[in-house]
């Protein structure tokens, strides 16, 4: 009997393909932390204005001067206007790709579209951070506890209601010059006499839910430029997110391309509402 | 008689040697001829391989198979744009309406001396270097350095040294006298004579 060669055996053994893994993306970190303005949903208009009215000053004598009910000035200008725009992605799924794949490529396409829209929304919100009036840091500067003290003081001075959120790029939290370095057990640490609660949390799990009065969040959608990134600390009313229409999928057959177009779109706007209720936190990520 | 026999034997041997040497020479010549033949009959692998690869590359470039590609395109009804500060820091990209609000806000802040004025065009490296020589930048740098020095103190670096210095001043001693932690081998019991 002729011996079977290795080459022949290899050809007879198929390559098995498992379900595909999708590239991971950061998701919806900031949207749940800001004001949800639903005025545009289900009605006309694409611009949502939020008027801000200046406060009155109570006088201490018996001859009162009339004061105008006036729009806010300074950094909290009135109105805060968010203009809704269309955001979406479309996939052209060719029949041959769909028929030849192990996975359900229509479902994969839907997942890719959904992920891209969620990431776009988060990006639209985090890019507002660099447009706040007050920046506690600057380029090529390491974060210190004093930045948190000043930021907390700034928010409290302008009556920002709790809770206060702190959103940073992961490199501003976990790096040799990041927030975690403030709580390690070195002589420079905030708690140098021994690990306190926050230090213990960082030492044990590498994370702390609250830091110096702020709820801490990591968001990798924040852009890093030359080892610097602009996170922010803010109260809920600092930013408003204004949806006009939630996620909608449309499927259209493209016969001439022998393909199916899958289109996912969502319509929203975003704007700064109370600038004084937020501080930009621009810091270095590594020495 | 014997002399003749010896001479004959010697001549025979010499003949044999000559014959063997001639045979070796012939074989060597044959070997080199065969090697030359092999060399001449073997094709030029370098140019053939190169041609093979070139042809495959052309086939891959010219022929197109899209069955393994899924096209994904992003849809927007607006174009986000960025603003830049004079040091090259980017603000954005933002929705055009937000860009306008931000530009106006930072203009007011710049007029009040609080922030840099923003621009819709990115500054070049020369623009940045030129700005760093301006009075506006120098004034900002002075304020910024003071601010960072104040905040850096909160990291408690050198705090122990500052406390020791102030204790030394209050007690009229030197820092070395009040902060003299000795190694185990240097510790002596009271009453012992110091070496």
A129-148 pLDDT, tens per residue?
Answer: 999 999 999 999 999 999 99
Distance from CA of B150 to the nearest CA of A (A): 8
DSSP string, chain A: -PPPPHHHHHHHSPPP-PPPPPPP---SSSGGGSEE--TTTTSS-SEEEE--BPPP---SSSSPPP----B--TTS-S-EEEE-EEEEEEEEEEHHHHHH-SS-HHHHHHHHHHHHHHHHHHHHHHTTGGGSS-BS--TT----HHHHHHHHHHHHHTTPPSPEEEEE-HHHHSSTTSGGGGSSSSTTSS-TTS--HHHHHHHHHS--SEETTEEEEE-TTS-EETTEEEEEEE-GGGEEEEEEEEEEEEEEEEGGGTEEEEEEEEEEEEEES-GGGEEEEEEES--
C-alpha A254/C-alpha A140 separation (Å) is 51
Beta-sheet pairing, A224-225 with A214-218: unpaired
Band of residue B155 on the pLDDT scale cut at 50, 70, 90? low
Contacts of residue B91 in chain A, CB cutoff 8 Å? Answer: 130-131
In this prediction, residues B9-19 reach a mean pLDDT of 85
Of B67, B148, B155, the CB nearest to A97: B67
C-alpha B91/C-alpha B87 separation (Å) is 12
For chain B, how are helix, strand and coil distributed in percent, rounded to 5?
65, 10, 30
- Mutate which of A101, A128, A131, A134 to disrupt the B interface (most B C-beta within 10 Å)? A131
In this prediction, residues B7-26 reach a mean pLDDT of 86
Q: In angstroms, what CA-CA distances link A3 with A6, A8, A87, A106, A215? A: 9, 10, 63, 46, 70
Question: Looking at the predicted structure, is the pLDDT value of residue A10 above 70?
Answer: no
Query: Hey, which residues does A82 pair with through a beta bridge?
Result: A48
Report which of residues A179 and B37 the model is more confident about: A179
Q: What is the pTM of this model?
A: 0.73
CB contacts under 8 A, B 107-126 vs A, are: 109, 114-115
In this prediction, residues A226-238 reach a mean pLDDT of 95
In this prediction, residues A37-55 reach a mean pLDDT of 86
C-alpha A250/C-alpha A254 separation (Å) is 13
- DSSP at B170: H
Query: Hey, which residues does A87 pair with through a beta bridge?
Result: A266, B76
Query: Hey, which residues does A91 pair with through a beta bridge?
Result: A262, B72
CB A232 within 8 A of CB A274: no
**DSSP H or E run through B176:** helix B175-178
Question: Looking at the predicted structure, is the pLDDT value of residue A282 above 60?
Answer: yes
Contacts of residue B119 in chain A, CB cutoff 8 Å? Answer: none
Question: Looking at the predicted structure, is the pLDDT value of residue A181 above 90?
Answer: no
Of A100, A131, A139, the CB nearest to B67: A100
CA-nearest residue to B70 within chain A is: A93
Contacts of residue B72 in chain A, CB cutoff 8 Å? Answer: 89-91, 109, 112-113, 116
Q: In angstroms, what CA-CA distances link B101 with A106, A127, B107, B108? A: 41, 14, 10, 11
In this prediction, residues A195-223 reach a mean pLDDT of 80
C-alpha B126/C-alpha A143 separation (Å) is 29
Whether B102 and chain A come into contact, CB under 8 Å, resolves to: yes
Of B74, B90, B115, the CB nearest to A89: B74
Question: Looking at the predicted structure, is the pLDDT value of residue A4 above 60?
Answer: no
Using the Cα atoms of residue A282, residue A271, residue B113 and residue B135 in order, give the sign of their dihedral. positive
Of A77, A91, A150, the CB nearest to B72: A91
In this prediction, residues A38-60 reach a mean pLDDT of 84
Which pLDDT score is estimated for A192? 47
pLDDT digits (tens, 9 = 90+) for B158-179: 666 777 778 788 888 887 777 7
Which pLDDT score is estimated for A171? 94
Question: Does residue A249 come out as left (phi exceeding 0), alpha (psi in the -120 to 50 range) or beta?
Answer: beta
Put simply, the answer to whether B155 touches A144 (Cβ < 8 Å) is: yes
C-alpha A233/C-alpha A238 separation (Å) is 10
Report which of residues A181 and A12 the model is more confident about: A181
């Amino acid at each position: 009997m002729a011996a079977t060669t290795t080459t022949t055996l290899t050809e007879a053994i198929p390559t098995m393909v498992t379900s595909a893994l999708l590239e991971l993306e950061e998701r919806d970190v900031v949207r749940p932390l800001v004001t949800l303005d639903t005025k545009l949903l289900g009605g006309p208009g694409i611009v949502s204005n939020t008027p801000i009215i200046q406060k009155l000053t109570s006088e201490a004598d018996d001859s009162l001067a009339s004061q105008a009910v006036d729009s806010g000035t300074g950094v909290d200008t009135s109105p805060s206007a968010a203009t809704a725009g269309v955001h979406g992605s479309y996939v052209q799924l060719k029949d041959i790709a769909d028929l030849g794949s192990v996975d359900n490529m229509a479902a994969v396409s839907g997942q890719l579209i959904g992920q891209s829209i969620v990431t776009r929304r988060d990006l639209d919100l985090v890019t507002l951070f660099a447009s706040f009036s007050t920046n506690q840091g600057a380029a090529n500067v390491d974060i210190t506890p004093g930045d948190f003290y000043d930021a907390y003081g700034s928010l409290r001075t302008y009556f920002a209601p709790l809770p206060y959120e702190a959103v940073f790029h992961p490199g501003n939290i976990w790096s040799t010059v990041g927030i975690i370095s403030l709580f390690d057990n070195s002589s420079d640490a905030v708690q140098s006499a021994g690990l306190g609660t926050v230090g213990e949390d960082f030492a044990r799990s590498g994370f702390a839910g609250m830091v110096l009065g702020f709820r801490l969040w990591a968001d990798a959608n924040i852009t890093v430029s030359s080892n610097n990134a602009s996170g922010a600390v803010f109260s809920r009313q600092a930013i408003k997110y204004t949806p006009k229409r939630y996620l909608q999928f449309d499927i259209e057959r493209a016969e001439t391309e022998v393909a199916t177009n899958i289109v996912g779109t969502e319509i929203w706007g975003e704007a700064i509402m109370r600038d004084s209720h937020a501080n930009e936190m621009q810091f270095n990520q590594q020495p | 008689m014997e002399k003749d026999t010896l001479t004959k034997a010697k001549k025979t041997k010499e003949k044999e040697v000559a014959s063997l040497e001639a045979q070796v020479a012939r074989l060597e010549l044959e070997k080199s001829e065969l090697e030359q033949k092999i060399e001449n009959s073997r094709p030029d692998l370098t140019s053939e391989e190169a041609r093979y690869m070139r042809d495959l590359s052309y086939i891959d470039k010219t022929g197109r198979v899209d069955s393994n590609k899924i096209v994904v395109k992003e849809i927007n009804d607006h174009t986000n744009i960025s603003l830049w500060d004079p040091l090259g820091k980017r603000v954005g990209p933002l929705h055009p309406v937000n860009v306008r609000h931000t530009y106006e806000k930072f203009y007011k802040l710049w007029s009040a001396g609080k922030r840099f004025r923003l621009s819709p065009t990115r500054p070049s490296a020369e623009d940045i270097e030129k700005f760093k020589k301006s009075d506006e930048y120098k004034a900002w740098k002075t304020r910024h350095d003071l601010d960072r020095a104040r905040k850096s103190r909160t990291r408690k670096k050198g705090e122990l040294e500052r406390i020791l210095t102030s204790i030394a001043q209050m007690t009229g001693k030197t820092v070395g006298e009040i902060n003299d932690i000795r190694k185990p081998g240097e510790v002596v019991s009271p009453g012992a004579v110091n070496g």
